[in-house]
Structures are given as C-alpha cells and as structure tokens.
C-alpha cells in the first residue's frame, strides 16, 4: 500500500546504527517484561512499525546499550503512550494531566511510578533512569525541561480536543508541534548517545535554536502528511488539515504545499549551517567546535531518519484501533 506524503530532498545520508538487531530484541523483551506487549500481534506491530529502526536511524553512533535504550524508548513512546492519548483518555484533560504529571514527577526525580501506578508509568520510570544515566547536570536539566514540554503538550492537545481549538497559522502550530514530537528532547539524547554534548552556553544560541526548530518543522510536515489515514479519522492537530482548512484546496494541493514548505526549511537549514553555523564555529574555542558540528549531524539524523522511517513503517497504513488488552496501560482500572 503506497502512501504519499510530503517529499523533499536533503544533502545528508541516512545513517544506521549497527546494533539495530540487538536493539530490536532488547526492546521486545523489555516491553514484554513491563506488560507493554500482549500476544503475537503486538510484537509484530513493534517489528512492522520499525520502532527499532527509527531508534537506529536517530542515534547511528550510539553504543549497543544506548541503542537498546533508544529502541525501548521508541516502543514506549509509540505503543503504549502516543496511541492511548489519541483514544478515549485523550478527551479527558484531567486524566491526561494526572498521567503527565506523574511522568513529569519522574523526569524531575520528585516521585517514582507509585504516583500513578500503571504499566506505562512503571516502564517509564525504569526507562528514564537509564536515559539520563551519566548525563552532566546541565544536560540533565535541559532534557528534563524538554521532556516536560513534551508531556505538557499532551495536556494541551487534550484540552484542544475538548474545546475544539484549531490552529490557523502554521508558524504557531509548529511551535506546539516541536513539543508534541518531543523533538528537542530527542535531539538532546543524541548528544549523549554517540554525539558530543553541546556546552550549555552554546546550546541556547539563536543559530542552534533555529536549526532544531527547522528540524522539528520538517519532521512535523513529513509525519503529519504520512499519518493522515489515522488522523483523518481521529482528528487532532495536523499540518495538512490546517493547510486545507486555510487554503481550501484539495488534499493533493495541500501535500504539494507541505512538500514546498519542507524543502524550503531544509534549504534554509543548509544555508544556515554553511553561513551562520560556520561563523559561530570560528568564533568559539577549538575544543567546542566538534560539538557544534555534531549538533548539525544530530539534526540531519533526525530529519533523514524520520523521512525513511515514515516510508517503511506500517504504523500509518490505516486508522489504528487500540486493542482491548491495552486499555489499562496508561490509566489504572479504577481511574
């Protein structure tokens, strides 16, 4: 079944972590252990959705152990969490807020999984402790901030579902969308998993800020355009819906416009790196230059990895319906 989404070209190669197979096995075992996979179909979904692949694409230089953690993270993110929030729970902001508040508590070391004792939260507590292991305190602060922004965006989306709020402006939408993909929080992990930590006084630089926002925007356009079969049914924010709503054209025209936007953003990123990033690299100490160039690689892996993953995953082939066994993963039976 061929899906066509936003298309664009980049000058960067797709890179793949050599520990991919080990990471897939490790993630399947870990998800079973935490009750996040039930039966053969769920395990097949994990494999066919290519969740180990997306981890291997995003973090091509991660060690075997890190690549395993990354694949578990993708499994956690896509299987029990994201899809649950698209369902019935996602229409109850206070229930979403309770789950996200527990996850934010874990991210800040305020509380453990007992604050909201469900398989998803228990698994996240286990995962997070390994995600941040060995991180410097500044990176840990940053990753906590960016993952909090991600969890917060789930609450925002739940509120928007109940109020029917719809974005009118792509730029406004992209600001929330960077949070809903956890773009910056996943980019942060690239510095730890096979990359080089960007010194805190440079990570906030406007050039790096623009680079990661462009990366997030491009992935948003690609993802929104490829997940329409699901989101045409469930609703929720989607760039293609937004373009069609505001321009009134056909689906094909909206996809063509999304492709244009994505290509322009890739081109802007290429130029930004050639000029502004190069200027910045020259202005900082020798010892910090590798981290700046490495940051560009993280954004490239993010864009190229997502592009390929959207092509090969079966996740977006049709509208997904949450299987019965999964209904208790996020909220307890009694909540």
Residues of this chain that bind a second copy (CB under 8 A): 93-94, 97, 100-101, 104, 108-110, 136-138, 141-142, 144-145, 148-149, 151-153, 155-156, 159, 162-163, 165, 172, 175-176, 179, 199-206, 209, 279-280, 283-285
- 261-275 in b/e burial notation, b at 16+ Cβ within 10 A? bbbebbeebbebbee
Structure tokens belonging to residue 251: 């689906």
| 49 vs 173, beta carbon nearer a second copy | 173
Structure tokens belonging to residue 48: 């066919």
| 165 vs 325, beta carbon nearer a second copy | 165
CB of 146 to a second copy, least distance (A): 9
| 12 vs 145, beta carbon nearer a second copy | 145
Nearest to 14 by CA among 308, 321, 326, 298: 308
CB of 109 to a second copy, least distance (A): 6
Q: With both helix axes pointing from N to C terminus, report the angle between 239-247 and 206-226 in degrees, rounded to the nearest 10.
A: 80
CB of 281 to a second copy, least distance (A): 11
* Residue with tokens 């406007």, as numbered in its chain: 206
Which residues, 6 or more positions from 45, have their beta carbon under 8 angstroms from its beta carbon? 79, 314, 315
| 135 vs 258, beta carbon nearer a second copy | 135
CB of 297 to a second copy, least distance (A): 21
| 52 vs 296, beta carbon nearer a second copy | 296
Answer for the pair 28, 45: CB distance below 8 angstroms, yes or no: no
How many residues does this entry show for the chain? Answer: 335
Distance of CA 36 to the CA centre of its chain: 19
| 31 vs 155, beta carbon nearer a second copy | 155
Phi, psi of 184 (to 5 degrees): -70, -35
CA Rg value for the chain: 19
CB of 265 to a second copy, least distance (A): 16
Q: Using the Cα atoms of residue 327, residue 330, residue 332 and residue 335 in order, give the sign of their dihedral.
A: negative
**Pairwise CA distance, residues 30 & 131, whole Å:** 14
CB atoms within 10 A of CB 21: 10
* Residue with tokens 């069609």, as numbered in its chain: 244
| 42 vs 98, beta carbon nearer a second copy | 98
CB of 17 to a second copy, least distance (A): 29
| 65 vs 268, beta carbon nearer a second copy | 268
Answer for the pair 16, 60: CB distance below 8 angstroms, yes or no: yes
| 49 vs 147, beta carbon nearer a second copy | 147
CB of 310 to a second copy, least distance (A): 25
CB of 185 to a second copy, least distance (A): 12
CB of 283 to a second copy, least distance (A): 5
Answer for the pair 302, 58: CB distance below 8 angstroms, yes or no: yes
**Pairwise CA distance, residues 296 & 14, whole Å:** 14
């Amino acid at each position: 079944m061929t899906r066509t989404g936003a298309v664009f070209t980049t000058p960067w190669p797709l890179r793949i972590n050599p520990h991919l197979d080990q990471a897939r096995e490790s993630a399947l075992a870990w998800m079973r252990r935490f009750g996040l996979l039930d039966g053969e179909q769920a395990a097949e979904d994990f494999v066919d959705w290519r969740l180990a692949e997306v981890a291997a694409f995003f973090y091509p230089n991660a060690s075997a152990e890190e690549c395993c953690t990354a694949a578990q993270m993708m499994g956690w993110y896509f299987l029990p969490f994201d899809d649950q929030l698209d369902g019935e729970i996602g229409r109850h902001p206070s229930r979403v807020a309770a789950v996200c508040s527990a996850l934010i508590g874990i991210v800040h070391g305020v509380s453990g999984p007992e604050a909201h004792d469900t398989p998803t939260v228990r698994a996240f507590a286990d995962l997070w402790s390994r995600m941040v292991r060995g991180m410097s305190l500044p990176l840990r602060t940053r990753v906590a901030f960016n993952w909090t922004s991600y969890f917060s965006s789930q609450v925002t989306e739940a509120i928007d579902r109940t109020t029917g709020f719809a974005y009118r402006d792509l730029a406004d939408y992209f600001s929330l969308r960077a949070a809903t993909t956890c773009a910056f929080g996943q980019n942060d992990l690239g510095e730890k998993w096979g990359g080089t930590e960007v010194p805190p006084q440079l990570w906030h630089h406007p050039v790096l800020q623009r680079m990661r926002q462009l990366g997030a925007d491009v992935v948003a356009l690609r993802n929104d355009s490829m997940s329409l079969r699901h989101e045409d049914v469930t609703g929720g924010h989607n760039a293609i819906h937004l373009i069609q709503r505001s321009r009134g054209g056909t689906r094909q025209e909206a996809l063509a416009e999304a492709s244009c936007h994505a290509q322009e953003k890739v081109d802007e990123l290429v130029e930004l790196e050639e000029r502004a990033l190069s200027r910045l690299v020259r202005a900082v100490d020798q010892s910090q230059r590798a981290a700046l160039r490495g940051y560009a690689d993280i954004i490239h892996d993010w864009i190229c990895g997502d592009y390929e993953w959207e092509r090969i995953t079966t996740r977006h082939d049709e509208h997904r319906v949450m299987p019965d066994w999964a209904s208790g993963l996020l909220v307890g039976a009694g909540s």
